[in-house]
Chain A
Amino acid sequence: MKKKAIGELLNEWKQDADMRERIVHWHTIEAKGASLADFPNKLHPSIQAALKERGIHQLYSHQRQAFDIAMEGQSFTAITPTASGKSLCYHLPVLQSILEDSSTRALYLFPTKALAQDQKSDLNELIEQMNQDILSYTYDGDTSPSIRTKVRKAGHIVLTNPDMLHSGILPHHTKWVSLFENLKYIVIDELHTYKGVFGSHVAHVLRRLKRICQYYGSNPVFICTSATIANPKELAELLTNESHKLIDQNGAPSGKKNFIFYNPPIVHPTFGVRRSAILEVRDLAKRLHNEGIQTIIFAKSRVRVEMLVTYLKELTKRKIQNESIRGYRGGYLPSERRQIEKGLREGTIQTVVSTNALELGVDIGQLQACIMTGYPGNIASAWQQAGRAGRRQDEALILYVAQSTALDQYIVNHPSFLLGQSPEQARIHPDNLVILMDHLKCASFELPFKTTDQYGEFEIQELLAYLEAEGILVRTSDKWHWMSERFPAHEISLRSASQENVIIIDQTIPAATKVIGEMDRYSSMTLLHEEAIYLHQGIQFQVEKLDWEEKKAFVREVDVDYFTDANLAVELKVMSEDQEKVFEQGAVFFGDVSILAMATIFKKIRFDSHDNIGSGPIQLPPEELHTSSSWLSFNRPEGWTDSMLTDAMTGTGTSIASFIPLFVQCDRRDIHVVPQVKSIHAELPTFFVYDSYPGGIGISERVFEVWPDLLAHVEQHVASCPCDQGCPACIGAQDATVGLKDEVIKLLAYLQLKPKGEFHVI
């Protein structure tokens, strides 16, 4: 049977009645030609030769622009979609500068170890083609002690990640004198990933880095590359505390792209139930597989990735040693991931199922088709996933398959939501005091502050006095000295509060137990509880024992026809009320809360039919989070029953949650909104807004200030939304509960806060 090209396949689909019904919208993005520029005259002959060897005779316009700006010594940020040759934006100026002066050093930062290792092989290949004596090394937890000294002293280009910089390099800067004295470039790849809590931490790591550079007399240029987000320049400037030029005209060509919005068929007309998106994706993926089209499938959770891999492996079951279908997600061991990436580049792997782990710039080459199982949660992510499909000369297919959730249904019916809007902004807040204090400790450890010093843009003398009172610093005539045994960088994790992962141990063969993966604590509560079915590369394992103290899960291979799904119960308690503002309808507060998350029960769900075939309890201690919160408690409007209030508050809560990022500039994941009809502490209807970070990152503190404005805005938006019943754009899509939107509007009208009495602090 002859395999069809994408164009042929699409023509076929256009004729197919079933497909025509399911394809809700067909959007075509036309091919775009390249915008090219000549090599700069001064570009070193060996670089020119290496590029020519790669078949590159001209640069894309953005690469040329990047070179010119960098050579002027100006920091810049370039928007670089997938496959636009972003790495040359930084390699060229860096290599050129090293060839001009061999003492020059550059530091490359990647959000993960994996990306750094990926880029190193690419960079080394280029250097080899140049036939020059330039040394580049990765420096991370895997770097063997025997070459560490060499990296520190002689590495021209050091590729690392922010975590390593934070705890492995900066606190030992005296071992890196030759790097810091000669540091000319700091490259930050995947800028858009530095947002929210992580981004705020990294902003401080960079301020510490700049402080050390200044101590050793260097003043490096920052080069950032970013996926498409709404505010790259602003993010880069806030992250690096440095002014940036923006390169946003991309010169790379792109092939024609077909963006198809696909809604699974209705299988139960009375209740409007649609066929499961997973099964639909399975079938679509099979068709693409049969045509030999290299495809990436994005699924939202690890479990879904594994389910899809299991389903699809049926296709190759009878072919021995066939590795053409693979899963890819966090939790696989690095060696396994490298192998999969290589398989994708070389084409031995034809279909890969991934979580958003492959949104990042891991080099897997360009694939022909991309299937999104549901909306990834934000516009920027959706475009990044879509960007994985599209070879330069080839037509590309992007299939968005809607799940039956409200949000997905809204998007499949309103393609302009995705196609017509600019992607989200990425926000960080380095001035959060909790994070600031953490890094002030690290900075004090690295170098004593003078009694006249600033730190980045911050005035810190009073904060240092506080640390002295805490017994961590000692003040002498003109400096604050670190006087503690502690190593602060080890106590501060840039990623999340729970640093300790659960190790997954396969004990199928008792004499040969082996570690097959790892998982963060929070996820393991619902995925690695005892009796859970854990899927790894499509193989089922049952968890036999979860040793929570030691953070180890022991699993054994099984063959069953179900998967497990666990419930997580969340409880919220008010610890202290620090501030209060009284209004006519109620009052808003700011204080501390404790959140208790506990895995309760799990269900066994049969494959294919998705029937519930059993359940059991989960015995794990609850995980606790102390954070700051702002909440609004109000008197129940007259005539409202509990159930009316529950529905209306749920809808209103959704709306509030989607507007908070606008008001206080944060990532959506950084906050949570919880409505309670009768709160435990005040017995009044209450909306809680809390920071999803231990100790809080000051978001709810800002929310406390803006409640009236926030509610006014929410009311106006919901009232003017064109939908009838409520939709993801306003109150969250509804399960056909007639009239709910009206109730939300009524509640919001009631909640337009009017001042009463005076502001007082208790």
Chain B
Amino acid sequence: MSFEKNLLQMKKLIKKKPVKGQSLAPFVIPERPGYSSTWEKAGLSLIENEFGVVFEKKTRYEPDYRHGSFQLEDVFQAFILWNSFQGVHPVSTDDQQVVFFDTETTGLKGTGTYIFLIGQLKWNGDHFEMIQHVLADPSHETAFLYASGLWKPDHTIITYNGKSFDWPQLQTRWTLNREHLPKLLDPAHIDLLHASRRVWKNELDHFKLTKIEEDKLGFKRVGDIPGHLAPIIYFDAVKSGNPSTLLKVLSHNEWDILSLLTLFIHTTKLILQEEYSETVGTSTNIGKWFADLKAFEKSQKAFEQITKQYEAKEAAKAFYYLGFEYKRLKQANNAYKAFEQSLMYLPEGLRIKSYEELAKIAEHTKKDFNTAIEKVENALNLIEHSKILTPLKKIRLRASFEKRLIRNKKKQTISRGSADFDRK
């Protein structure tokens, strides 16, 4: 172990205690809400722990349980695919306990927003189990958070928009109860909203989970309550004591989490299973994602596959990205071919860049200044007639291409001169 690592280990031993002015008072267990028995009759179990009470609902699913187009046990194939994947990818997971996780809250942000429902779906030896914890009332928050078990180490959570919403919100609640609770560690976290955005860029307009469910996962909800009503329903349940509508929020949350699991299956297959694909756009997006993650072997393979499989028109972007793959591999001729093939059907912005790449290869590798000049002029022509570029952008682009043009013309003259000289 290196010296630095040793030091870092030591550092963990240094404990700081926050200076507390007042509240070192012992924890007082709050009173049970008056409606406890009504909620129990409605089907929630009352669980007691050292901090108070919490309501709980457990649901069991057999492995072959079907949700939309998938069976829950298909998730194991997805895990296998990831385990055989060599490399780092934001959607990959290892053998840790995987938890599909979603919350319902009383608002959108700030310390006045409570989490009132935490749902977790796990594999439990021979079946899947959903555990939903419901905040009994705000004074029982410590009990609620403790019961969630989220403080236990060594699990991977999978969420939809959890990185910017659910988890920070959980951290806020945890901070407010930190005197009594074990520390909340940051688990490995896979946010499928991020993945969905990469996979379906330019393919989907909205990334609402219910929308993806219908379009991609083959699931349609019947009798669902809209998510934005959840806070009001919870307030009403606490104020009136009547939990009947609250149970619909639990179903809503249950559907969210089941869809989360099937979304994980679907995206995993799209990313890692070669024969499993949707559209050329999705496949190109995935290739690009690999490229951005510097998994070049994967990205090159993906782009090559697309260019073989699809018409030039559909594969234009794949050709374009493939051009960069070859450029990186210093295969100038291949790169040049790929950019050439991409040109015709690329959107304007990328076409200008493609011309730029062609001009670079022509100038620097092929020393073919006539071609370079031709490509630059093509780009300038596109810029001139563009309807989407802002005036400022036009000026900047034009300036850089004109610089290239002048340089090439100079080189052209010199090379002609030296050719003439050779002839003499």
Q: Is B19 an interface residue (CB 8 A)?
A: yes
Query: Which of the residues B22, B139, B239 comes within 8 Å of A477, measured between beta carbons?
Result: B139
How does the 8 Å CB contact mask read for A470-485 relative to B, with 1 for contact and 0 for none? 0100101111011111
Q: Report yes or no: B31 in contact with A477, Cβ–Cβ below 8 A.
A: yes
Interface string of B71-102 (1 = CB under 8 A from A): 00000000000000000000000000000000
Interface residues in B183-237 (C-beta closer than 8 Å to A): 231-232, 235
Closest 6 CB pairs of A and B: A445-B112, A476-B139, A481-B138, A482-B112, A174-B175, A171-B110
Give residues of chain B (293-322) contacting chain A, Cβ–Cβ below 8 Å.
none
Q: Is B356 an interface residue (CB 8 A)?
A: no
Could you tell me if B110 and A172 are in contact, using CB atoms closer than 8 angstroms? Answer: yes
- A444: chain B residues at CB < 8 Å are 112
Which chain B residues (106-151) contact chain A, with CB distance < 8 Å? 106-112, 114, 137-139
Contact B176 A487 (CB under 8 A): no
Q: Are B138 and A216 in contact (CB under 8 A)?
A: no
Within 8 A of A (CB), among B273-295: none
The binding surface of chain B is classed by DSSP as loop
4 additional A-B pairs beyond A485-B107, A485-B231, beta carbons within 8 Å, are A447-B176, A474-B137, A489-B110, A511-B391
A218 contacts B by Cβ under 8 Å: yes
Partner of B106, one of A479, A483, A488: A483
Partner pick for A218 among B19, B23, B108, CB 8 A cutoff: B19
Who on chain A is nearest to B108 by CB?
A487
Contact of A476 among B23, B31, B110 (CB under 8 A): B31
B21/A219 in contact, CB under 8 A:
yes
Contact B111 A447, beta carbon cutoff 8 Å: yes
Name the residue in B30, B109, B110, B114 with the highest tally of chain A Cβ atoms < 10 Å from its Cβ.
B110
- A320 interface residue (CB < 8 Å to B): no
Question: A512 at interface (Cβ–Cβ under 8 A)?
Answer: yes
Bound-state CA distance A216–B175 (Å) is: 11
The answer to whether the Cβ of A342 comes within 8 Å of any Cβ in the partner chain is no
Q: Is A181 a contact of B18 with CB atoms below 8 Å? A: yes
Interface residues of B in 24-55 (CB under 8 A from A): 28, 30-31, 33
Whether B110 lies near A487 (C-beta < 8 A) is yes
B176 nearest CB neighbor, chain A only? A174
Identify whether the interface residues of A are mostly helix, strand, loop, or mixed: mixed
6 residue pairs A–B, Cβ–Cβ below 8 Å: A171-B110, A181-B19, A471-B239, A478-B139, A485-B231, A487-B109
Interface residue from B23, B111, B137 paired with A174 (Cβ < 8 Å): B111
Verify if B5 is at the interface (C-beta below 8 Å from A).
Answer: no
Q: Which of B19, B23, B138, B232 has the most CB of A within 10 A?
A: B138
**How far is the CB of A574 from the nearest CB of chain B, in Å?**
38
Known contacts A477-B31, A483-B235, A484-B235: A446-B19 contact under CB 8 Å: no
Residue of B nearest to A447 (CB): B111
On whether the beta carbons of B110 and A478 are closer than 8 Å, the reply is: no
Contact of B107 among A174, A175, A487 (CB under 8 A): A487
CB of B172 within 8 Å of the partner chain: yes
On chain B, the residues within 8 Å of A448 by CB distance are 138
Task: Find chain B residues with CB under 8 A from A445 CB.
Answer: 110-112
Interface status of B11 (Cβ within 8 A of chain A)? no
Assess whether A214 is interfacial by the CB under 8 Å rule: yes
- Within the complex, the shortest CB–CB distance from A204 to chain B, in Å, comes to 16
Taking CB atoms and an 8 Å cut-off, the chain A residues in 437-489 that contact chain B are 444-448, 471, 474, 476-479, 481-489
Give Cα A476 to B114, complex, Å.
15
**Contact in complex: A174, B172 (CB < 8 Å):** yes
Residues of A within 8 A of B28 (CB): 478
| A-chain residues with CB within 8 Å of residue B386 when the two chains form the complex | none
B238 at the interface (CB under 8 A from A): yes
- Roughly how many angstroms separate A215 CA and B33 CA in the complex, as a whole number? 26
The answer to whether A476 and B138 have CB atoms under 8 Å apart is yes
Q: A477-B31, A485-B107, A512-B391 are in contact. Are A214 and B139 (CB under 8 A)?
A: no
For the complex, is B245 an interface residue (Cβ under 8 Å from A)? no
B137-A476 in contact (CB<8A): yes
B interface residues, Cβ below 8 angstroms from A:
18-23, 28, 30-31, 33, 106-112, 114, 137-139, 171-172, 175-176, 231-232, 235, 238-239, 391
Q: Mark A626-656, 1 if CB is under 8 A from B, else 0.
A: 0000000000000000000000000000000
Query: Quick one: closest A residue to B168, CB to CB?
Result: A175
Bound form: Cα–Cα A487–B109 in Å = 8
Contact with B along A487-507 (1 / 0, CB 8 A): 111000000000000000000
Which residues of the partner chain A approach B109 to less than 8 Å between Cβ atoms? 171-172, 487
A483 and B172 contacting across the interface, CB-CB below 8 Å: no
Chain A's nearest CB lies how many Å from the CB of B399? Answer: 18
Name the B residues within 8 Å of A174 (CB-CB).
111, 171-172, 175-176
Question: Is the beta-carbon distance between B111 and A171 smaller than 8 angstroms?
Answer: yes
> Is B111 a contact partner of A483 (Cβ separation < 8 A)?
no
**Contacting residues of chain A (175-215) with chain B, CB-CB under 8 angstroms:** 175, 177, 181, 214-215
A471 — which chain B residues lie within 8 A by C-beta?
235, 239
CB–CB A173/B30 < 8 A? no
Interface centre among A216, A444, A471, A485 (most CB of B within 10 A): A485
Chain A residues with CB below 8 A from B31, complex form: 476-477
Contact partner of A474 (CB less than 8 A), chosen from B18, B108, B138, is: B138
Find chain A residues with CB under 8 A from B30 CB.
476-478
Determine if A172 and B391 form an interchain contact, defined as CB atoms under 8 angstroms apart: no
Bound together, the chains give a CA A446 to CA B23 distance in angstroms of 17
Of B21, B108, B137, which one neighbours A217 at CB under 8 angstroms? B21
CB distance from A452 to the nearest CB of B (A): 12
Measured between beta carbons, the chain B residues less than 8 angstroms from A216 are: 18
Cβ of B111 and Cβ of A446 under 8 Å apart? yes
B108 contacts across to A, CB distance below 8 A: 485, 487
| Complex Cα–Cα for A171 and B172 (A) | 11
What CA separation (Å) do A710 and B107 show in the bound complex?
Answer: 49
Of the residues B21, B33, B111, contact of A172 by C-beta under 8 Å: B111
| B contact residues around A512 at 8 Å (CB) | 391
Please, which residues of chain B bring their CB within 8 A of the CB of A489? Answer: 110
Q: A215: nearest residue on chain B (CB-CB)?
A: B23
In the bound complex, CA of A486 to CA of B232 (Å): 11
A482–B139 Cα distance when bound, in Å, is: 11
Interface string of A565-606 (1 = CB under 8 A from B): 000000000000000000000000000000000000000000
Give the chain B neighbours of A181 by CB distance below 8 A: 18-19
Contact check, A217 vs B112: say whether CB atoms are below 8 A apart.
Answer: no
Min CB distance, B241 to chain A, in Å?
Answer: 12
**A221 nearest CB across to chain B (Å):** 15
Q: How far is the CA of A483 from the CA of B240 in the complex (A)?
A: 13
With A217-B21, A479-B138, A482-B112 known as contacts, the answer to whether A175 contacts B235 (CB < 8 A) is no
State A444–B28 Cα separation when bound (angstroms): 21
Query: In the docked arrangement, what's the CA distance between A48 and B305, Å?
Result: 68
A65–B385 Cα distance when bound, in Å, is 69
User: What mask results when residues 596 to 618 of chain A are scored 1 for a CB within 8 Å of chain B, else 0?
Assistant: 00000000000000000000000
Q: What residues on A are CB-neighbors of B176 within 8 Å?
A: 174, 447
CA distance A171 to B108 in the complex (A): 12
Chain B contacts for A484, CB-based, 8 A: 106-107, 112, 235
A479 CB contacts on chain B under 8 angstroms: 138-139
Specify the chain B residue showing the minimal Cβ separation from A479.
B139
A308 to B138, CA, bound (A): 61
Which residue of the partner chain B has the closest CB to A181? B18
Query: B21 and A214: CB pair below 8 A?
Result: yes
Chain B's nearest CB lies how many Å from the CB of A549? Answer: 25
Q: Smallest Cβ distance from A511 to chain B, in angstroms?
A: 7
Q: How far is the CA of A474 from the CA of B112 in the complex (A)?
A: 12
Docked-complex contact B172 and A217, CB < 8 angstroms? no
Q: How far is the CB of A205 from chain B (nearest CB, A)?
A: 15
Residue of B at shortest CB range from A442? B112
A45 CA to B187 CA, complexed, in Å? 45
Which chain B residues border A478 with CB–CB below 8 Å? 28, 30, 139
Complex contacts, B107 vs chain A, CB 8 Å:
484-487
**In the complex, what's the smallest C-beta–C-beta distance from A220 to chain B, in angstroms?**
12
B residues near A482, Cβ cutoff 8 Å: 112
CA–CA, A479 and B199, complex, Å: 47
Taken together as a complex, chains A and B put the C-alpha atoms of A58 and B93 apart, in Å, by 63
